[in-house]
């Protein structure tokens, strides 16, 4: 039954039409109540869907924040690693230069070249130790991140 407006019904029905008017009003009220119930149920379902979407959004925001922190740590680690790699390259180039220079000279200069070469070798070892420390730091950070976000699906996917 289509919804009817209150203006469809007489404000003061004639006594002979009271029974018919009452039945029409009652039928319109029943129809309106059914429609209101259906609308309320639909609204409740939408509310549940909205609440679930909000929970998913909060979870997504947390995941994105974790990912941003991880990327920031990786960026910082990459910057440190770049510094160590440049140090290793510079030291290697300096050692190669000293070896080439020592091949062209002899005598006292050879002793001086070996002293400088030993200094560069020490510098090389320090840079390698920095690289090893960075690798250990990255490994620990990865283990800590993995421990705080265990996987729950087959194949290790979060």
The DSSP code sequence of 30-54 is HHHHHHHHHHHHHHHHHHHHHHHHH
Q: Which backbone phi and psi does 151 adopt, to 5 degrees?
A: -85, 155
Q: What is the residue-averaged pLDDT of the chain? A: 82
Total of domains in the chain: 1
pLDDT at 155: 46
- 6 within domain boundaries: no
Give the percent of the chain with pLDDT over 70. Answer: 86
- 33 within domain boundaries: yes
Region 80-90: what's the mean pLDDT? 86
- 7 within domain boundaries: no
Q: Which backbone phi and psi does 150 adopt, to 5 degrees?
A: -65, 150
pLDDT at 108: 66
- 2 within domain boundaries: no
- 157 within domain boundaries: no
- 62 within domain boundaries: yes
* Domain assignment of residue 88, given as a range: 17-147
- 10 within domain boundaries: no
Give the percent of the chain with pLDDT over 90. Answer: 25
- 116 within domain boundaries: yes
């Amino acid at each position: 039954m289509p919804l009817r407006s209150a203006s469809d019904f007489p404000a003061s029905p004639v006594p002979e039409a009271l029974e018919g008017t009452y039945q029409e009003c009652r039928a319109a009220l029943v129809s309106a109540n059914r429609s209101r119930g259906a609308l309320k149920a639909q609204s409740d379902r939408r509310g549940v869907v909205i609440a679930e979407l909000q929970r998913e959004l909060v979870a997504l925001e947390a995941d994105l924040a974790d990912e941003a922190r991880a990327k920031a740590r990786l960026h910082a680690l990459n910057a440190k690693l770049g510094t160590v790699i440049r140090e290793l390259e510079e030291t290697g180039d300096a050692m190669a230069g000293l070896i080439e220079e020592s091949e062209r000279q002899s005598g006292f200069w050879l002793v001086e070249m070996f002293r400088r070469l030993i200094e560069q070798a020490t510098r090389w070892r320090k840079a390698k130790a920095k690289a090893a420390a960075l690798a250990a730091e990255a490994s620990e950070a990865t283990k800590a991140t993995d421990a705080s976000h265990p996987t729950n699906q087959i194949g290790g996917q979060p």
